[in-house]
Chain A
Amino acid sequence: MSAYIIRRMLYAIPILIGINLITFILFFVVNSPDDMALMQLGSKHTTELQIEDWKRERGYHLPLLYNTEQSGLGAVTETIFYQKSAKLFVFDFGSSDSGRDIGYDISQRMWPSLALAIPTLLVGLLVTITLALTIAFFRGTYIDYWAVIICVALISISSLFYIIGGQFLIGKLLKIVPISGFDTGLHALKFMILPVLIGIVGGIGSNTRWYRTIFLEEINKDYVRTARSKGLSEQVVLFKHVLRNALIPILTGVVVVLPLLFMGSLLTENFFGIPGLGSYTIDAINRQDFAIVRAMVFLGSVLYIIGLVLTDISYTLVDPRIRLS
């Protein structure tokens, strides 16, 4: 397995370089270093000299991808792309264009993102799997029929509606929890109830329907029929046999998103004022802070690759027939 993991990590390097290059090109197609300088310095009373100074200080005076004034390796290394991207591969995120330490910011802001994402994921899984198993148990009945209709209806509703509706109903009308905000430590609990609840409700429709399909596929297999013929109760059949065998596709969906939980939820974080990494990224895009955008895209890509590797590893854990080679 170690050889497999090392090989996958090596494969990741060209992928990350490619992602960096694409991010770089997309960013600089829309923003020039002059625009970035103006954004940081402000457009009122700013002179050309100040813009030049700002660019020089941060290395944005160099050519983007190829330096014609340099020869040999310097033609590639003396460019914005190389200077800004090389350090990322040793996870040195450097400073943002406004001068803040990106690594420090990430270390501070990943906790609120996790505080929101982990309970949403775990409780959401528990709820949706239970619901899906219940629906599978009542397959072909009116419960199954209405459950599918409700799931489709829930899928059709925009996540923004859940957020605004949830804030209106629970925060404004019922006044049970704060409408928005965040705090540290245990004080964060009361702020997390509503966004987590909204996250769970928002995911019920799609996840329940998906898991139901998986369970139904399993429930008709021979080993289930055998289990039943042995006289096992339906509860044991579902929870011990069906659930265990249905775990592979569920794991595929869950494990791959685990590392991405760090990256936060953009919409929820914005509406609830949760200072996570999702809002950090969007703020950076609005401020044209390339250093942060680049760091966050890189981090997201690395985490996604880790997620894929973890998924592969998890296959071997839940299904001994699978071997990584």
Chain B
Amino acid sequence: MTVRKISLALCCTGLFTFLVACSDQELNNPYRDNDSARSIIYSSFSERPKELDPVKSYNAGEYEFIAQIYEPPLQYHFLKRPYELVPLAAAKMPEKQFFDAQGAHLAEDVDPKQVAYTEYTVTIQSDISYQPHPAFSKDEAGEFRYHQLTATDLERINKLADFEMVASRILTAEDYVYQIKRLAHPNLHSPLAGLLSNYIQGFKDFRIDVLTQLDPQKSWLDLRQIAMTGVEVLDQQRYRIRVKGVYPQFIYWLSMPFFAPIPWEADRFYAQQGMAERNISFDWYPVGTGPYMLTENNPNLRMVLSKNPNFHGELYPTEGEPSDLDNGLLADAGKPLPFVDRIEFSLEKESIPYWNKFLQGYYDTSGISSDSFDQSVELNSRGEFGLSDEMIERDIKLSSAVATSLYYLGFNMLDPVIGGDTERARLLRRAISIAVDYDEFISIFRNGRGEPAQGPIPPGIFGFEEGQAGINPYVYDWQKDALKRKSIEQAKQLLSAAGYANGIDQKSGKPLILYFDTVSRGADSKALLNWMVKQFAKLDIQLVIRTTDGNRFMDKLDKGTFQIYQLGWNADYPDPENFFFLLYGPNSMALSKGQNYSNYQNPEYDQLFDKMKAMENSPQRLRIIQEMNAIVRADAPWVWSFYPKQYSLNHTWYKNVKPNLMANNTFKYRRVDAAKRAQMRKEWNDAVLWPVYVLFVVLLLSIVPAVISYRKRELARGL
């Protein structure tokens, strides 16, 4: 009996070994097909995209998908820096014209105060077609095949692929106008609706018109039949947008998926009763003209973008920065895009498995999380970050870029102690700005992944100045061509001058106690909060930490019941206006529920902001920016914390990688050396089976004494 069992076990082991030996695929390969010869990018997503409808989608995780599918009129140049807008679906850059209140055309260099509205005329290319989609399919009579579906028709339909017939059509200017109208539709809740209603003429009125015409009995409202005064179709290829006053930043919005085209046929198709219940909607099945289309949408498992067979074609850029040529980024110049047939995103919720799979070659690129930082990056003798030996051995490349983002420690300017326009409060804020050592913070908590901020504008945005010209003189000195934080003694002097010598309020004789409101992130944030308390303790100021959940924290900001808080801002577009508006008086939370959470008010700053906002980039605009920087640095409504630095690791087979923090549609530029990847995967993933055999043998051997013991007992009983 026992011998039989052991023989069976050995047979099983032999069969297992045989199967393993027969398999030409790595045992730990998480992908289904043998893709050694296929040009596929492997990436991941950590949570289901909330929205894929370009009218609502507004975060990086969602743009990773839809920016490859939809084509707004403009895009950011892949290689050029500073960031530059270039045509995407547009045939050329939009034409801009100024008009006064009487409709008279004004010169380009006119005083912005005279401008009543600006017209942008967008001309799109004539040879662009949509991806194949059932919404365009027509029957022999020329009627749309799937626009009048009944409940019976839908019985056999569960997903888009269940519709047998698909078709396409040419992109027209009307599709762009249709989408702008969708942005204003009150039931679609576009996050941009509030902002655009301040700029696009007739946007607010259109919302009202839609509300009056909405009929609960009808599932679809044809937005083509409702006019919006500020948006007009000129002909098949041209449309015009009328923007109130002067708003040069408007052009940046034209590069975002909000302004991508939507064919009315698809809207009509998705609006039919029974479609939403089946998740057949824009949110599930985007319809675009871009290089890729979503061919598998299983957000619980995998999302796949495949080449759009109707893609109109685009060429890899032929110009870039001087270093791009040396870095091989122009090797594909002039070649048709996209290079890769398929992009596969797998659900990966945790960073550790992702990192390990990246090291095994199953993902092409990876960020560097704090868990893997020490393993991947080392500080060299010159104090610069470089790859660790393990990464070099695997021929992994490192790329880094300072994000167009800013973190700051804000003061509530309405607070009687820390806020206000008095010299006493100003000196107190400046003293704190010196004491809270963000150089140390970057080193301890971010592994050096950041640069100490000198003002509201991060690198890469017009108005940011390098070197001595760009330092915050209230916190730093410029010594030996480097930043040097002012000493804590200088901070104490400022504190003393403010009437808080040794952390005691000279007026009341009571110790100075300040309150820091922050979102609780559990035990992980304890060290960080302790560090913050110690920074204030350097000035003998007692800092009380008030942790709360995210909702209550936002509630406190809303009501102004806080003293100090910490937040960050990520650029929507590369213009200084997108950062300075965070301190613009009329945008304060107390006044208008805006994003000026510090409730900072300075009439001089506000005046300069109004002026700067309406200007194109120029030396004159730079001078105004310098003035604005000087004002906010002196007033110190924020402690300028740091500009985060992003590092990413890329396998050697993953080509044309250059961080572009503004563009989201960069997959079309990527190229993959699939043969090299297959070779490396095989090399790195040879299964180690001997421990399994050893374990098996040990288990078998351990059974032997038990069997002997059992037999002895049985026999003993028999006797």
Q: Which residues of A contact B (CB under 8 A)?
A: 30-32, 35, 38, 40-50, 53-54, 57, 98-101, 104, 108-109, 112, 134, 137-138, 141, 143, 164, 167-168, 171-184, 187, 190-191, 228, 233-234, 270-273, 275, 279, 283, 287-288
Assess whether A42 is in contact with B59, with CB atoms less than 8 Å apart.
Answer: yes
Q: Is the pair A180, B353 in contact by a Cβ cutoff of 8 Å?
A: yes
Quick check: B300 and A233 within 8 Å, CB to CB? no
Q: Is the CB of A45 within 8 A of B26?
A: no
Q: How many A-B residue pairs have CB under 8 A?
A: 147
> Do B48 and A283 touch (CB < 8 A)?
yes
Of all chain B residues, the one with the shortest Cβ separation from A49 is B194
| Residues of chain B within 8 A of A53, CB atoms compared | 186-187, 189
Count contacts on B: residues with CB < 8 A to the other chain: 59
Given contacts A45-B192, A273-B347, contact A182 B58 (CB under 8 A): no
**A79, B274: Cα distance in complex, Å:** 27
Instruction: Give chain A residues whose Cβ lies under 8 Å from the Cβ of B32.
Output: 183, 187
Given contacts A53-B186, A167-B353, A234-B710, contact A178 B593 (CB under 8 A): no
- Known contacts being A104-B279, A180-B357, is A43 close to B554, with CB within 8 Å? yes
A40, A57, A109, A178: the one within 8 Å of B187 (CB) = A57
* Interface residue stretch chosen among B318-326, B490-498, B631-639, B682-690: B682-690
Q: Are B28 and A175 in contact (CB under 8 A)?
A: yes
Contact of B686 (CB < 8 Å), options: A57, A104, A175: A175
- Nearest opposing residue in chain A for B685, CB measure: A175
Inter-chain contact A176/B352, CB cutoff 8 Å: no
CA distance A181 to B42 in the complex (A): 13
The answer to whether A30 and B549 have CB atoms under 8 Å apart is yes
A143 to B705, CA, bound (A): 10
B353 near A109 with CB under 8 A, answer: no
In the bound complex, do residue B279 and residue A171 qualify as a contact, i.e. CB atoms below 8 Å apart?
no
Shortest distance between the CB of B51 and any CB in chain A (Å):
7
Closest to A233 in B: B714
Whether A42 lies near B300 (C-beta < 8 A) is: no
B189: chain A residues at CB < 8 Å are 41, 50, 53-54
- Name which residue of chain B comes closest to A101, CB basis: B277
The answer to whether residues A184 and B551 also contact, given A50-B193, A175-B687 and a CB cut-off of 8 A, is no
Nearest-neighbour CB distance to chain A for B39, whole angstroms, equals 21
Q: Is the CB of A182 within 8 A of B706?
A: no
Interchain nearest-CB distance for B372 vs A (Å): 13
Cβ 8 A contact of A174, one of B50, B51, B360, B692:
B692
Within 8 Å by CB of B706, from A35, A101, A138, A171, lies A138
Q: Does B47 contact A (CB under 8 A)?
A: yes
Are B58 and A108 neighbours in the complex by a CB distance under 8 Å?
no
Q: Which of B554-610 contact A (CB under 8 A)?
A: 554, 572, 593, 595
Q: In the assembled complex, how far is the CB of residue A267 from the closest CB belonging to chain B, in whole angstroms?
A: 10
Chain B, residues 116-159, CB within 8 Å of chain A (1/0): the string is: 00000000000000000000000000000000000000000000
Contact with A along B187-226 (1 / 0, CB 8 A): 1010111110000000000000000000000000000000
B321 to A: closest C-beta gap in Å: 30
A108 in contact with B300 (CB, 8 Å): yes
B193 proximity list for chain A (CB < 8 A): 47, 50
Task: Find out whether the CB atom of B194 lies under 8 angstroms from the CB atom of A50.
Answer: yes
* In the complex, B527 has a CB within 8 A of chain A: no
B276: Cβ under 8 A from any A Cβ:
yes
Neighbouring A residues of B103 by C-beta, 8 Å:
none
Set of chain B residues within 8 Å of A172, measured between Cβ atoms: 356, 359-360
> Could you show 9 A-B contacts with beta carbons less than 8 Å apart?
A31-B551, A38-B554, A45-B194, A167-B356, A177-B28, A180-B348, A233-B714, A275-B300, A275-B347
Q: Which residues of A contact B47 (CB under 8 A)?
A: 283
A104 vs chain B, min Cβ distance (A): 7
B27 close to chain A: CB less than 8 A: yes
Residues of A within 8 Å of B688, CB to CB, are 173-176
Contact A40 B349 (CB under 8 A): no
- 4 closest A-B pairs by beta carbon, nearest first, are A275-B300, A47-B194, A180-B353, A178-B30
Contact A109 B349 (CB under 8 A): no
> By CB atoms of chain B within 10 A, which of A43, A180, A184, A190 has the most?
A180
Q: Select from chain A the residue with minimum beta-carbon distance to B20.
A: A176
| CB < 8 Å neighbour of A101 from B279, B346, B348, B686 | B279
Which B residues fall within an 8 A CB radius of A? 26-30, 32, 47-48, 50-51, 58-59, 186-187, 189, 191-195, 276-279, 281, 283, 300-301, 346-350, 352-353, 356-357, 359-360, 362, 549, 551, 554, 572, 593, 595, 685-689, 691-692, 706, 709-710, 713-714, 717
| Cα distance A233–B711 in the bound complex, in angstroms | 11
Q: Are A35 and B347 in contact (CB under 8 A)?
A: no
B554 touches A178 (CB 8 A): no
- A99 to B47, alpha carbons, bound, how many Å? 16
Contact partner, A32, options B353, B551, B706, Cβ 8 Å: B551
Cα A80 to Cα B610 in complex, Å, equals 44
Chain A residues, Cβ within 8 Å of B348? 180-181, 273
A176 near B356 with CB under 8 A, answer: no
Instruction: Give Cα distance in the complex from A113 to B709, angstroms.
Output: 41
| Complex-state Cα separation, A104 to B280, whole angstroms | 12
> Other CB < 8 Å A-B pairs besides A44-B191, A138-B709, A178-B30, 13 of them?
A32-B551, A47-B193, A48-B593, A50-B193, A172-B356, A172-B359, A173-B688, A176-B688, A177-B28, A271-B349, A271-B353, A275-B301, A275-B347
- In the complex, what's the smallest C-beta–C-beta distance from A200 to chain B, in angstroms? 14
- The distance in angstroms between the C-alpha atoms of A234 and B554, with both chains bound, is 68
A179 B356 Cβ-Cβ under 8 A: yes
Report chain A residues within 8 Å CB of B691: 174
Measured CB to CB, the closest approach of chain A to B550, in angstroms, equals 8
List of A residues within 8 angstroms of B279 by Cβ: 100-101, 104
Partner of A35, one of B27, B554, B717: B554
Cα A44 to Cα B568 with chains together (Å): 12
Partner of A180, one of B30, B51, B281, B710: B30
Bound together, the chains give a CA A134 to CA B551 distance in angstroms of: 55
A171 to B27, CA, bound (A): 10
Q: Are A109 and B28 in contact (CB under 8 A)?
A: no
- Across-interface contacts of B278 in A (CB, < 8 A): 101, 104
Residues of B within 8 A of A176 (CB): 27-28, 687-689, 692
Are B191 and A181 interface neighbours, CB within 8 A?
no
A112 to chain B, nearest CB (A): 8
Q: How far apart are B149's CB and chain A's nearest CB, in angstroms?
A: 18
Tell me, in angstroms, the Cα distance from A53 to B346 when the chains sit together: 35
Chain B residue with Cβ nearest A171: B28
Considering the complex, give the chain A residue whose CB is closest to the CB of B193.
Answer: A50
**Chain B residues whose CB sits within 8 angstroms of the CB of A175 once the complex forms:** 26-28, 360, 685-688
Q: Are B300 and A171 in contact (CB under 8 A)?
A: no
Among residues of A, the one whose C-beta sits closest to the C-beta of B686 is: A175
Residues on the B chain within 8 Å of A45, using CB = 191-192, 194-195
Bound together, the chains give a CA A180 to CA B358 distance in angstroms of: 12
Interface centre among A57, A175, A233, A287 (most CB of B within 10 A): A175
Q: A108 — which chain B residues lie within 8 A by C-beta?
A: 300
Q: Are B50 and A40 neighbours in the complex by a CB distance under 8 Å?
A: yes
Per the bound structure, the CA–CA distance linking A189 and B245 in Å amounts to 62
CA–CA, A273 to B551, complex, Å?
28
Shortest CB–CB separation between residue A18 and chain B, in angstroms? 25
List residues of chain A with CB within 8 A of the CB of B281.
99
Q: Which residue of B lies closest to A267 (CB)?
A: B350
- Closest-by-CB residue of A relative to B197 is A47
Give Cα distance in the complex from A137 to B692, angstroms.
28
Considering the complex, give the chain B residue whose CB is closest to the CB of A57. B187
Contacts A30-B551, A31-B551, A43-B554 given; does A179 touch B300 at CB 8 Å: no
> B26, B51, B194, B706: which contacts A134 (Cβ < 8 A)?
B706
Chain B residue at minimal CB-CB distance from A181: B30
Question: From residue B714, how far is it (CB to closest CB) to chain A in Å?
Answer: 6
Bound CA–CA A49/B706 (angstroms): 75
CA distance A206 to B688 in the complex (A): 31
Residues of B within 8 A of A48 (CB): 593
Could you say which residues of chain B place their CB within 8 Å of the CB of A180? 30, 348, 350, 353, 357
| Residues A109 and B300 in contact in the complex (CB < 8 Å), given A167-B352, A175-B686, A180-B353 | yes
